[in-house]
Structure 1
Amino acid sequence: MDTHFIDDLAQRLAAALPPGLHALRQDLEHNFNAVLRARLEKLDLVTRDEFDAQARVLARSRAKLEELERKIAELEQRLA
Structure 2
Amino acid sequence: MDPKKIEDIARQINDSIPAGVKDFAGQFEQRVKTILQQQLSKLDVVTREELDVQQQMLLRLRQRVEQLEQELAQLKQE
- TM-score normalized by structure 2? 0.86
Structure 1 counterpart of 2:51, one-letter code: F
Tell me the equivalent position of 1:23. Answer: 23
Structure 2 residue 3 is the aligned partner of structure 1 residue 3: yes
Give a deviation string over 1:52-71, Cα, whole Å, max 9, x none. Answer: 22211111110000111112
Number of equivalenced pairs: 78
Task: Give the C-alpha shift of residue 26 in structure 1.
Answer: 1.0
Distance 1:9 1:38 in 2: 14
SS across alignment from 1:22 = helix
Query: Percent same amino acid among aligned pairs?
Result: 36
Listed as ranges, the gaps of 5+ residues in structure 2 are none
Structure 2 residue 38 is the aligned partner of structure 1 residue 35: no
Distance 1:50 1:11 in 2: 27
Higher relative contact order (Cα pairs below 8 Å, separated by 6+ residues): 2
Listed as ranges, the gaps of 5+ residues in structure 1 are none
Q: Report runs of 4+ in structure 1 exceeding 3 Å deviation.
A: none
